[in-house]
Amino acid sequence: MKYIFDFDDVLFNNTAQFKVHMFSILAEAGVPEKSARAHYLEVREKEFSLRNFIQTLFTKYNLRYSVDVVYQQIMEQTPNFLNTELVELIKKIGKENCYLVTNGDQEFNNDKVKYSGTSDLFKKIYIVPGTKKEVIRKICEENKTEEILFLEDKQKFIDDLEIEKHPNLRTILYTGQNLEPYFQ
């Protein structure tokens, strides 16, 4: 059995913890939370780059620290926002059986994985713009004889998979349910 994990809101508590922390660090640096949230709503639909986000706010407000310092302050807390139960399950099933397929800006997502200490949990890490379809097709083809489980919190990334083409692929819409039964 192989496993494909999404990062944000599956392995990493992005909405419930990371974003709250991000806005709080930005507020300490001098950006009122309301303004930061309003700007976030404008840019989040595209591939979100935290560095560009801070940079833009930096030009509007007199930030107390440099862009690099604020970026660092936000990123260094990422190990505290992991879904620890899931991380333990991944360690149990082993790196050889796990893939990470996440969507979005390269630098930011690379850093999130690196800073959070999860780089070594996976056989391969894919950060893709747009759809996850191609990468998941590739993983399914490389592991034809095995069952593959894809864990994802966003329905849209499940819907566009052409699942009928991959008889060995099973998807789970992750909403925080207990996953232990799937990791036996």
User: Using CB under 5 A as the criterion, what x/- string covers residues 134-173 for binding Mg ion?
Assistant: -------------------x--------------------
Residue 126 bridge partners (DSSP): 101
Please identify, using beta-carbon distances, which residue of 20 and 34 lies nearer to Mg ion.
Answer: 20
Q: How far apart are CA 21 and CA 2, in angstroms?
A: 33
Q: How far apart are CA 95 and CA 124, in angstroms?
A: 9
Min dist CB 60 to Mg ion, Å, is: 29
Applying CB under 5 A, does 111 fall inside the site for Mg ion? no
Kindly tell me which residue out of 6, 63, 90, 112 binds Mg ion, with binding defined by CB under 5 A: 6
Kindly tell me which residue out of 2, 9, 22, 67 binds Mg ion, with binding defined by CB under 5 A: 9
Q: How many other C-beta atoms can be found within 10 angstroms of the C-beta atom of residue 68? A: 10
Min dist CB 153 to Mg ion, Å, is: 4
* Interacting residues with Mg ion (CB under 5 A): 6, 8-9, 153
